[in-house]
Amino acid sequence: MGKLTARTILRRALELDVRLRAVDDVAIEIEGRQVHPGVWGLAILNAFAEPRSLADDIRSLRGAVTGDQDLENLDSTIRKLYGEGVLCAAGGAKGALRARGFGGAKIHARMLDDRARTSAFLKAIAEVVQPGDVVVDLGTGTGVLAVAAARAGARRVYAIEASGIGRLAREVFAANGVADRVTLVEGWSTRVTLPERADVLVSEMIGNEPVAEDILPLTADARIRFLHPGSRSIPDALDVYALPVTVPAEELRRTTFSPGSVRDWSRWYGLDCSALEKAFAAEPRSLFVLPQEARNWPALTAPVLLGRARLGGGAITGPIGEFRSTSVGGVDWLWRERMSVPVETRGLLNGILVYFEVQLSPRVRLSTAPDSAAGTNHWTCVVWTVPDAREVHPGETLELTHAYTGRSRPRVGVRW
């Protein structure tokens, strides 16, 4: 990341999820992380909708600044948002490439280190791509999946990438002798056009919260604008599951105002911290955990299917009953809003872990279920904490709630 000076031109990252809880309580979701910018958050996001320098921004907001401390707060919030990748250097003709996040090495190293993930995608590509196919690799990253498609015999691969990592992918194509058949298309997939329609869509856009990286609308847009009708897709289908669990006390202690820690803080510091616990126990919070590290967490019911997306187009197979069907820009999303789930094991219900299973090709399936996630798996699972957690028993039925209709953050909870 470059040094930030008053003249650096910045703009906000193009794809952010922003939640406004109060005017001074903004939560920004970026690549599975939450950033809380404080009182200046909204004004900064607004000001950097278009590229501008730090100096220009501070000048335009000066009228609202209430004193030296406030000015310092504004300046440090901008620097924090830059450090988190929410604001990016807007240099170069593209002007939209993130300075960090997917533009940096770290996230791609983690994905490539996840052998189970990357090998599964390579296997599925070898199974699905036929000699002579035209392939779109949406979000090519380091370019590995595009190279695999070319090796499987694709006549042409369009490798679309919005972040600066695409420039490295170009070198990967050359080093693997496929540069003549792989075309790097720099930019957001929703804004670029391609010269011909494709037979296969390859795309690894599954987030830690499986559907929250906009996999559904982005796939829908690609199917409509880039693909032939009846084309193939890797992945073909995505299932999202919930698992009511007992989150170990040490895990809660590290991430929330748990009763145990609040008690200890009160004792250690001679303060009454119980208000923290009350305020935060009242609503569900999310924490993230590697599923392989949650393998031994007690599961209290069987896994519950929350939703199924048919990314490859065509009709959805599977349960209908209480499922609702929503078309997210043309991709079918079958989901349940409320479900009654029998308790199978006695235990404390204080969390609901969400994981996915994805059908990459007829023969390749990948899962982040705690009992089957690979040791190399890099995806974390979101765990929703349960307000008023309590002991549940076999014979009881839980009422789970879930909502995801398109672009909002999916939420899962339990109704007592």
Ligand X SMILES: C[S@@+](CC[C@H](N)C(=O)[O-])C[C@H]1O[C@@H](n2cnc3c(N)ncnc32)[C@H](O)[C@@H]1O
Beta partners for residue 182, in sequence order: 157
Report whether the peptide linkage leading into residue 259 is cis, meaning its omega lies within 30 degrees of zero: no
The footprint of ligand X on residues 215-244 (CB under 6 A) is 218
Residue type, 138: L
- Provide the minimum distance between the beta carbon of 29 and ligand X in the complex, in angstroms, as a whole number: 14
Q: How many CB atoms lie within 10 A of CB 70?
A: 14
293: annotated active-site residue? no
| Interaction between residue 204 and ligand X (CB under 6 A) | yes
DSSP state string for 328-384: ETTEEEEE-SEEEEE--S-EEEEEEEEEEEEEEETTEEEE--TTT--TT--PPEEEE
For ligand X, which is the closer residue by CB, 144 or 334? 144
Among 30, 74, 78, 111, binds ligand X (CB under 6 A): 111
- Provide the minimum distance between the beta carbon of 187 and ligand X in the complex, in angstroms, as a whole number: 7
- Provide the minimum distance between the beta carbon of 243 and ligand X in the complex, in angstroms, as a whole number: 24
Catalytic one of 204, 251, 277, 357: 204
Residues in contact with ligand X, shown as a per-residue x/- string from 293 to 332 under the rule CB under 6 A = ----------------------------------------
| Interaction between residue 57 and ligand X (CB under 6 A) | no
- Provide the minimum distance between the beta carbon of 108 and ligand X in the complex, in angstroms, as a whole number: 6
For ligand X, which is the closer residue by CB, 29 or 204? 204
Residues in contact with ligand X, shown as a per-residue x/- string from 75 to 94 under the rule CB under 6 A = --------------------
The answer to whether 88 touches 13, Cβ cutoff 8 Å, is yes
- Provide the minimum distance between the beta carbon of 251 and ligand X in the complex, in angstroms, as a whole number: 26
Please provide residue 411's backbone torsions phi and psi, each rounded to the nearest 5 degrees. -130, 140
In b/e form, how buried is each residue of 134-151, taking b as 16+ CB within 10 angstroms? bbbbbbbbbbbbbbbbbb
Please provide residue 100's backbone torsions phi and psi, each rounded to the nearest 5 degrees. -130, -155
| Interaction between residue 351 and ligand X (CB under 6 A) | no
Q: Which of 304, 390, 393 shows the shortest CA–CA distance to 345?
A: 393
283: annotated active-site residue? no
222 vs 225: CA distance, rounded Å: 5
For ligand X, which is the closer residue by CB, 142 or 359? 142
165 vs 180: CA distance, rounded Å: 19
* Torsion on CA atoms 175, 177, 182, 185, rounded to nearest 10: 20
Catalytic one of 15, 29, 186, 213: 213
Residues in contact with ligand X, shown as a per-residue x/- string from 114 to 153 under the rule CB under 6 A = -------------------------xxxx-xx--------
| Interaction between residue 162 and ligand X (CB under 6 A) | yes
SS3 content of the chain, % helix, strand, coil (to 5): 30, 30, 40
- Provide the minimum distance between the beta carbon of 205 and ligand X in the complex, in angstroms, as a whole number: 6
In b/e form, how buried is each residue of 167-176, taking b as 16+ CB within 10 angstroms? ebbbebbeeb
| Interaction between residue 189 and ligand X (CB under 6 A) | yes
Among 28, 54, 99, 165, binds ligand X (CB under 6 A): 165
416 vs 374: CA distance, rounded Å: 34
For ligand X, which is the closer residue by CB, 145 or 247? 145
For CA atoms 267, 269, 275, 277, give the dihedral sign.
negative
- Provide the minimum distance between the beta carbon of 171 and ligand X in the complex, in angstroms, as a whole number: 15
For ligand X, which is the closer residue by CB, 159 or 398? 159
Residues binding ligand X: number (CB under 6 A)? 19
Binding site for ligand X (CB under 6 A): 102, 111, 139-142, 144-145, 160-163, 165, 188-190, 204-205, 218
Residues forming the active site: 204, 213
